[in-house]
Amino acid sequence: MAKLFFGSLLALSTLAVSLVEGNLVYPAYGGVPIADAGSVDFNNSLTDTDSIVSTAQIVDQKGGAAGDVIPPPPPPVMLTAIDGDLVNVTVDSLVADQTQSSPTKRSVKDYVQIFKGTGTGPNDRDGSIEGTGYLTFTVVDNSTYNVDACLNFCDRVEQCVFANLYYEFNNPGLDSGGSNLKCAVYADVHKASEKLNRGGQQLAPPPAGLTYIQQSTGWTTKSLPEPKTPDGFELVFGPTNGANNAPGYMGFAFIDRYDVQACADLCNTRGADSQGGNCQYFNIWRALVDGVPTTYTCSMYFLVADESTAVNFGQGDLAVSESRGYRRKNVIPDGGFEGFNCGTNITAPFCFTPGYSAWKGISPATGHLDASIFNYAPYARTGHGVALLGSAFGEDDFPGTLTPASSLDTEAGKTYTLQFFHSSAFSGPEGEADAFVEVHWNDAVIATIKPGFSSWTFYSFNVVAQGNDVLQFHGGKAPSYDFLDDVSLFLTIG
Ligand SMILES: *[C@@H]1O[C@H](CO)[C@@H](O)[C@H](O)[C@H]1NC(C)=O
Ligand SMILES: *[C@@H]1O[C@H](CO)[C@@H](O)[C@H](O)[C@H]1NC(C)=O
Ligand SMILES: *[C@@H]1O[C@H](CO)[C@@H](O)[C@H](O)[C@H]1NC(C)=O
Ligand SMILES: *[C@@H]1O[C@H](CO)[C@@H](O)[C@H](O)[C@H]1NC(C)=O
């Protein structure tokens, strides 16, 4: 009888469960697990918007071109808050191998003036910008009011989209350098209302006066450049004015400029959630408080969200802008086994197979269906698809091998994170005593799991790719059954 089922896609929902004697009804007969492998409920893991909004009210990441020592551009991205606590560290200190994108080539005609200066009359007094995303400054030749030189400087600084050009008087460091015309550049656009630095410092010994500023003008690129999508990620939506309010939330960070790569680095290095696993998605957005850029939020999630939940437009005086969502690309096709279907028009699917387009199960020569894929929601961690190691009909106690149908599209030399969820609860504590899974990466066994009786549990391992890699899960010893679901392989830079 069993031979009939081998190698074909089956719909067995009408098969009587009583086919099997004893209290264990084998998976191929749609048996009800003796013990529950645990259900997954992420309804309590929504974005903590209140914490983000309250932290945005206290973080201060505004800056401007103080002093007279020209810093080497570009400075690293700073992390200013993590999960509600204010901090002060660079993002690239979290990441070993920082990839830098090359600056976009622009020209002076790609800029427009967005505010004027007060002039250079004896009594004219102006202010320079104190704003977010401050990058660096230079001084330009002051024989003319040298807008072109300043915009050319902006062009050469990665991420620069805005320049503030002004004269600063009574600064001896500038005077000895031969020019007092400062060009400060930013990664975000600012308005005249942010001319908050009015000088007033005693930098030169009296009787020299206090520093003061004249003719402070603002220039911005005509369009904000589309950020480069980080390696290993893909854009899901944006830019919009809505931040995600979505399940699978892991926490947030504030960074000091709109830097998608920095947010990706934070996602890649974020510690895993014990129930949900590694970061798989992030939402980056700009907070405007009373219309002024104030901080850049990077929210991280272990579930992939999309624009349908990007419905948080702000709160009180805080408005969301430039919101984009990015998902981590899973190198494994159909890691959730959801692509295997029992056919349409079936309300409660139950079917199984030794393989389909994305995965194949391999049994030893004398074994039978020792690795299989089921479409049956009660067995799955999420959705309705799940993989099984161990004889589906309970006919033998040989381990089976489950592997993606094709070798993996990996890049040699890069480090990837393999994650999956495992349960061995089907046959109860006694029956599952011999449960095991070996994880094979090419020719090496990188891990052996012997959990005995276990509900859904998250596992994660780092592997180095050689290109066209082969992943195999080998295990099961019926009646000790091993279920696998939600298998992912993510690029992890560093
Ligand atoms: C989670 O929320 C969804 C949508 O509101 C609901 O359909 C589902 O039943 C909830 N799950 C649990 C376990 O409460
Ligand atoms: C952050 O650290 C740098 C270097 O240690 C320091 O110069 C700067 O003032 C600090 N910023 C804040 C906001 O604490
Ligand atoms: C140019 O800068 C030098 C040095 O600060 C200063 O002495 C000079 O007066 C400046 N020229 C103008 C036109 O502001
Ligand atoms: C599914 O049901 C619809 C409506 O009842 C019917 O038109 C369609 O032919 C069915 N498809 C299959 C594959 O049976």
**Domain extents for the chain?**
12-32+333-493, 49-62+228-328, 102-221
Ligand 1 atom closest to 39 (CA): 13
Q: Please report which residue ranges of 70-114 form alpha helices under DSSP H.
A: none
DSSP states of 415-464 = EEEEEEEEEE-TTHHHHTTT--EEEEETTEEEEEE--SSEEEEEEEEEEE
Describe the strand order of the beta sheet including 181-186 as a list of residue ranges.
Answer: 111-115, 212-221, 162-169, 181-186, 134-139
The predicted structure's pLDDT at residue 158: 83
What's the CA-to-centroid distance between 344 and ligand 4, angstroms?
A: 8
- What's the CA gap between 384 and 396, in Å, rounded? 26
Q: Which ligand is nearest to the CA of 44?
A: 1
What's the CA-to-centroid distance between 227 and ligand 2, angstroms?
A: 27
Q: Strand, helix or coil at 208?
A: coil
- Eight-state DSSP code of residue 65: -
- Name the residue of 345, 346, 347 whose CB sits within 8 Å of the most ligand 4 atoms, as the mutation to test its pocket: 345
Ligand 4 atom closest to 344 (CA): 13
The predicted structure's pLDDT at residue 12: 39
What's the CA-to-centroid distance between 229 and ligand 1, angstroms?
A: 33
What's the CA-to-centroid distance between 87 and ligand 2, angstroms?
A: 9
- What's the CA gap between 307 and 245, in Å, rounded? 10
User: Cβ distance 437 to 474 under 8 Å?
Assistant: yes
The predicted structure's pLDDT at residue 343: 84
pTM: 0.84
Describe the strand order of the beta sheet including 385-389 as a list of residue ranges.
Answer: 351-353, 371-375, 385-389, 482-491, 415-424, 454-464
Burial class (CB in 10 A: 0-12, 13-18, 19+), 362: middle
The DSSP bridge partners found for residue 138 are 183
Q: Letter for the amino acid at 237?
A: F
- What's the CA gap between 79 and 88, in Å, rounded? 6
The predicted structure's pLDDT at residue 78: 80
The predicted structure's pLDDT at residue 104: 56
Per-10-residue mean pLDDT of the chain, 494 residues long, equals 32 35 82 81 84 87 77 71 78 52 63 92 94 91 93 88 95 87 93 93 89 95 86 96 95 92 93 93 94 91 96 93 96 97 84 97 96 96 96 96 97 96 95 97 96 96 96 97 98 78
The answer for residues whose C-beta is within 8 angstroms of residue 85's C-beta and 6 or more apart is: none
Closest CA to 235 of 267, 281, 173: 281
Asked if residue 44 has its Cβ within 6 Å of ligand 1, the reply is: no
Residue nearest (by alpha carbon) to ligand 1 atom 7: 43
Q: Which ligand is nearest to the CA of 176?
A: 3
Protein fold of 12-32+333-493: Jelly Rolls (2.60.120)
User: Cβ distance 27 to 425 under 8 Å?
Assistant: no
Residue nearest (by alpha carbon) to ligand 1 atom 10: 43
The predicted structure's pLDDT at residue 279: 97
Query: What b/e sequence results for 87-110 when a residue is b if at least 16 CB atoms lie within 10 Å of its CB, and e otherwise?
Result: eeeebbebbeebeeeeeeebeeee
Ligand 1 atom closest to 43 (CA): 1
List, chain by chain if needed, residues with CB within 6 Å of any ligand 3 atom: 142, 167, 174-175, 178-180
Ligand 4 atom closest to 345 (CA): 1
What's the CA-to-centroid distance between 9 and ligand 4, angstroms?
A: 19
Q: Can the peptide bond before residue 103 be classed as cis, meaning omega within 30 degrees of 0?
A: no
Asked if residue 43 has its Cβ within 6 Å of ligand 1, the reply is: yes
User: Cβ distance 442 to 469 under 8 Å?
Assistant: yes
Closest CA to 486 of 10, 33, 37, 6: 37
